[in-house]
Amino acid sequence: MSYQVNEKGYYGSFGGAFIPEMLFPNVEDLRSRYLTIMESDDFKKEFNSLLRDYVGRPSPLYYASRLSTHHNKEIYLKREDLNHTGAHKINNTLGQILLAKRLGKKRIIAETGAGQHGVAAATVCALMGLECIVYMGEVDIERQAPNVARMKLLGAKVVPALCGSRTLKDATNEAIRDWINNPVETHYIIGSVVGPHPYPDMVARFQSVISEEIRTQLLSKTGKETPDYVIACVGGGSNAAGAFYHFLDEPSVKLIAVEAAGKGIHSGHSAATMVLGKPGIIHGSKTMLMQTEDGQITEPYSISAGLDYPGVGPVHAHLFETGRATFVSATDEEALAAAYLCCRLEGIIPALESAHALAHLDKLKSAPGEIIVLNLSGRGDKDLATYIKHQNL
């Protein structure tokens, strides 16, 4: 069984490139060139040196002793929260901007939910001196105000998406429409393992540095390269894809993906795509999708803007279908409780997204001595308002 994309751009029956003809030349150009560029020495050299000196990689693998004691488990946190800009998103935007430069692009567009991807895109655009336009749902602009300010400081233009649920899905629609209208000099930096092929594979490759580092770090800490569990939260699925990547073909490593259950899976306010969705097409990709019987995409809900997406990357739909990964979910309340616990026990304020992964520690039935690596995808600076509001309740 292969968990990688095939030559046609599919993971099993998921993936592909369901795009209007207007996008074909750009997507095809990217498809035919991304691997050659990414595998060239010149690219690798620039990417790796910036990952080290600019992003601050490798991010630490930290044995969380108090959290481990609390849960009576062996818990390591992969500290993506310590990256420059505060999340794993920068691994991908850095890779894509170097690629865009080599494709001769002059203008960058991006979508963002929590604003972490928008900030990471704005950051690398500033670094490379490229114009940056970030689409963001009007609702998210309100709930992630600090990140909006950061993007503007970095020189990006933030354009509100005013249609539909005015969150991540709609911001993505607007970015795609921008690309249709600006097909020549623009590169679209998608923020997760979503979108038409080759995006899911390309983004997963850029994020795969996470699991590459986990292997070496774990070896030096425990004498073993592979943990028993890898846990990550899933919005579109990029941090999970990166954390799983180098363990996909190691059946002994149990992969756990945590979706946002919102106010409860069957409350009508949820973003648990694997439970609530069925195969469909969103943003150019065939994947699991929350939709009505009529095929209309439904509005997801989560307290965390970064998990508020009605689809999921096609690689995850495949991992779900094949049973290679286990998909679970955490509610708003469980995520908040796990975040507060992490603050008090470890002195780490996690992003609300990452808090969903932390919330699963309570439910995980691991055997004594089994090693758990949890991908702490980002830090919680952007979520302070939410944390403060709910703590006072």
Ligand X SMILES: Cc1ncc(COP(=O)(O)O)c(C=O)c1O
| Class of residue 228 by CB neighbours under 10 A (exposed 0-12, middle 13-18, buried 19+) | middle
Residue 192 interacts with which of another protein, ligand X, none, CB < 5 to 8 Å by class: ligand X
On whether the CB atoms of residues 277 and 311 are closer than 8 A, the answer is yes
Residue 354 interacts with which of another protein, ligand X, none, CB < 5 to 8 Å by class: ligand X
CB of 106 to ligand X, least distance (A): 26
- Tell me the CB-side half-sphere exposure of residue 224, using CA atoms within 13 A: 14
Comparing CB distances to another protein, the nearer of 229 and 309 is 309
Please confirm, yes or no, whether 377 is among the known catalytic residues.
Answer: yes
171 is a contact residue toward another protein (CB under 8 A): no
CB of 142 to ligand X, least distance (A): 16
Catalytic residue among 89, 105, 254, 382: 89
Which of 22, 202, 6 lies closest to 100 in space, CA to CA? 202
Taking the C-alpha atoms of residue 297 and residue 289, their distance in angstroms, rounded to an integer, is 7
Q: Which of 127, 265, 281, 345 binds another protein (CB under 8 A)?
A: 281
Taking the C-alpha atoms of residue 167 and residue 111, their distance in angstroms, rounded to an integer, is 10
Residue 306 interacts with which of ligand X, another protein, none, CB < 5 to 8 Å by class: ligand X
Piece in contact with ligand X (CB under 6 A), picked from 59-67, 121-129, 234-242, 281-289: 234-242
296 is a contact residue toward another protein (CB under 8 A): yes
Listed in sequence order, the DSSP H helices in the chain are 24-39, 41-50, 65-71, 89-102, 116-128, 138-143, 145-153, 168-181, 199-207, 209-222, 238-244, 273-276, 314-322, 332-346, 352-359, 384-391
Comparing CB distances to ligand X, the nearer of 198 and 306 is 306
| Class of residue 340 by CB neighbours under 10 A (exposed 0-12, middle 13-18, buried 19+) | middle
Comparing CB distances to ligand X, the nearer of 23 and 307 is 307
Separation of first and last alpha carbons in the chain = 49
CB of 315 to another protein, least distance (A): 19
Give every CB contact of residue 236 below 8 A, 6+ residues apart in sequence. 191, 192, 193, 194, 309, 311, 312, 313
192 is a contact residue toward ligand X (CB under 6 A): yes
233 is a contact residue toward ligand X (CB under 6 A): yes
192 is a contact residue toward another protein (CB under 8 A): no
SS3 content of the chain, % helix, strand, coil (to 5): 50, 20, 30
Annotate each residue in 352-381 with x if it binds ligand X (CB under 6 A) or - if it does not, as one string.
-xx----------------------xx---
264 is a contact residue toward another protein (CB under 8 A): no
100 is a contact residue toward ligand X (CB under 6 A): no
Comparing CB distances to ligand X, the nearer of 75 and 240 is 240
On whether the CB atoms of residues 174 and 135 are closer than 8 A, the answer is yes
Annotate each residue in 283-312 with x if it binds ligand X (CB under 6 A) or - if it does not, as one string.
-----------------------xx-----
Single-letter amino acid, residue 288: M
Q: Which of 123, 165, 238, 273 binds ligand X (CB under 6 A)?
A: 238
| Inter-axis angle of helices 24-39 and 199-207, nearest 10 | 30
82 is a contact residue toward ligand X (CB under 6 A): no
Residues known to be catalytic: 89, 111, 377
Contact set with another protein (CB under 8 A):
16-22, 24-26, 163-164, 169, 173, 176-177, 180-184, 280-284, 289, 291, 293-298
Contact set with ligand X (CB under 6 A):
87, 113-114, 116-117, 192, 233-240, 306-307, 351, 353-354, 377-378
